[in-house]
Chains A and B, each alone.
Chain A
Amino acid sequence: MNSQTAIATKQVNKTYGKGEAAFTALSDIDLKITSGESIAIVGKSGSGKSTLMHVLALLDRPTSGSVLVNESNASDMDGRQLDVLRNEEFGFVFQQFFLNANETVLDNVILPLKIAKVGRRERNERGLKVLASVELEDKAGSKAINLSGGQKQRVCIARALINNPSIIFADEPTGNLDSQTGKTVEDLLFRLNKDQGITLIIVTHDADIAARCDREIHIKDGKLTSKGEI
């Protein structure tokens, strides 16, 4: 495993509102995530962990400070470049799945490739391949609405994997699953991290998952704290 920096933040602040009513969601976050690392962002709800993930995933711009992805400064990029970067380098797994219920599993999985203007044949091939890696190739033609929770989350992981990302962001990936299926999804994510060297950034308040990561980052009131303070 190399020790290249996947994402780094420098003095990142995020404030909502102005003046008296200003609310600081993140303050002076300095963070360095190495390529191939698995890292848990742990904190209570309202602690700023989601905001941190959004800033790291370039879905949100910090009020001040800078975010560097693969050594390039995201604040120098325009909206189009950020879109391309997210599309090519990042994979997203959400607690609420965000699958298009009326479309087939395959159509859901290939959405990032569709956005990237990949041709129909290639994206279907890659879609079936990635579905095989989450053991759902037989469900390719089913509507997403007919899947169980665990299957849905595996579809989400397949969708996150299809563009061969360097980083996967998982926001409470097991939050909506029972412990049995949660474990399967968890194993799948960590296997990808170990086997393919994909950097894994998990937002969670599940201590077990956090413990399986190479590193835990604790956040409270928008500030990074040392471990064990929550």
Chain B
Amino acid sequence: MKFIDLALTASSSLFRSKARTFLTIIAIFIGAMTITLTNGIGTGIKSYLNKQIGNLGATNVLQIQLTNKNSGGPSSSTTAPIAYNPNQKSVVSGGRGGDVQLIMNPKDITAIASIPNVTSVTPERPLSPDYIMGTGGKFQLSVQQQFGSTTAAMIAGSGVDTSSLQNQISIPDNYVSSLGYSNNQAIVGKSVTIAISDAAGQQSTVMAVVTGVQQKAVLGSSAVFVNNTLANQLYAIESTGLPAATADSFTTVDATFPASLTTAQIATIKSALTAKNYSGQTVKDKENTVFTAINVIIIVFDMFGVIALLAATFGIVNTLLMSVQERTKEIGLMKALGMSPKRIFALFSIEAVLIGFWGSALGVAFAALVGKVINTIGTHGFLKDFPGLSLLTFPIKTIVVVIVGIMVIAFLAGTLPALRASRKDPIEALRYE
């Protein structure tokens, strides 16, 4: 038999006992649907977070700190206190009590800049502006210097240009109306005023052009991004009156590298940093910590789907064993007429695979439908506070993997009945009752 004839014969045999086939398909359907839904939620959340990660900063930047030796990390509190080193200053950082961060100076910048592939090193200055003002009142803000390319999800305009000599900022969308503009487009290209105080408490103001509006962040802070020119100007004001030694100390520096670097090349930079007693983290690394947790949750949910599929697998075995039993004579006849055992095996295997295909295809389709409905309800209801989130996302790759995976499982389940069919003795099968 040709493959197409095998497939057609298998398909028509399947639909001959409709109820039985339908029930077997239902079992597969439930498993496929569960797995697709859990993965859809996982993918949806991850792709949302991916967009949000942009608000944490550019992806081609390493955040570098000095490694606090002998403690396994700057914030480790599991070992005894670290011996005092008069050459190494440290500060107690915010956050958890006991966190100690070591202080870096311009020598560290030179050392880090000498690592291959590092294109620039900039210390993270603690910028604390007093307020931002548009055409209306004054509002508090937290600013973050933009390094590398913009990855924040922009909803109007574009991100700040790091190399521009103009003072530029980009603002989160919840600032737009407070600054006195009716919509996101209206504020792009307009000037705003930022006020900042020096060490003596003397307040000065700086003008900056708004280049764009980014989506309000859920992960990370809803920061106002500033370009280098503006950051330098703000820091110049803020550090006025500070002793030189204080102005030149910082706990964190940001090193940029070409965005085209591969993961392996980035790893090389990191190990070079480690060798020099620094530890560097990209945004991706922070993201991975979150993603690992999400993946674990998804795997747990997937287990439910897998258990459903496992039960469904026995359904396939059962259905096909019955089918083989019922069609003993048909099998015997086909063998007598010259059909090879291999082809008989193929015939029943195709039936199993078809059950897997229909179950998984329908399950995936139904899950996609449910996802669409939930997303639609969600954006207008319980997900209103998460703009840009579609809770369920179904990439083609996942769908194909689920369907093909289940077809493979179904094939494996079908091997026992198919083997039994292929081994039937035509004489026994055709013997009169």
Contacts and interface: CB of A to CB of B under 8 A. Distances in A.
Interface of A: 54, 57, 59-60, 79-80, 83-88, 92, 94-96, 98, 100, 102-103, 111-112, 114-117
Nearest to B341: A79
B432 A95 contact: yes
A209 to B, nearest CB: 18
A112 B432 contact: no
A115 B329 contact: no
Given A80-B340, A95-B432, A115 B427 contact: no
Contact of A86 (B12, B338, B432): B338
Contacts of A103: 12
Nearest to A98: B333
Given A79-B341, A83-B340, A117-B1, A111 B334 contact: yes
B16 interface: yes
Interface size class of B (residues with CB under 8 A): 20 to 34
Given A96-B329, A98-B329, 6 more contacts: A79-B340, A84-B338, A94-B430, A98-B333, A102-B16, A103-B12
Contacts of B335: 83
A112 B5 CA distance: 12
Contacts of B341: 79
Nearest to B337: A112
Interface in B382-398: none
B92 interface: no
B339 A83 contact: yes
Contact of A116 (B9, B338, B427): B338
B14 to A, nearest CB: 12
A12 B180 CA distance: 106
Contacts of B330: 98, 100
30 contacts: A54-B427, A59-B426, A59-B427, A60-B427, A79-B340, A79-B341, A80-B340, A83-B338, A85-B338, A86-B336, A87-B337, A87-B339, A88-B338, A94-B430, A96-B430, A98-B330, A100-B330, A102-B16, A111-B334, A112-B338, A114-B1, A114-B9, A115-B1, A115-B334, A115-B339, A115-B343, A116-B338, A117-B1, A117-B2, A117-B5
Interface of B: 1-2, 5, 9, 12, 16, 329-330, 332-341, 343, 426-427, 430, 432
A116 B338 CA distance: 8
A96 B336 CA distance: 14
Contacts of B339: 83, 87, 115
Nearest to B332: A98
Contacts of A114: 1-2, 5, 9
A92 B330 CA distance: 14
Given A98-B430, A114-B1, A114-B5, A86 B16 contact: no
A116 B340 CA distance: 10
Contacts of B337: 86-87, 92, 111-112, 115
A80 B426 CA distance: 14
A112 B332 CA distance: 13
Interface centre among A86, A88, A92, A111 (most CB of B within 10 A): A111
B228 to A, nearest CB: 73
A111 B343 CA distance: 14
A112 B292 CA distance: 58
Contacts of B343: 115
A88 B333 CA distance: 15
A119 B174 CA distance: 69
A96 B332 CA distance: 13
Interface centre among A84, A87, A92, A114 (most CB of B within 10 A): A114
A108 B337 CA distance: 12
A155 B430 CA distance: 18
B1 A59 contact: no
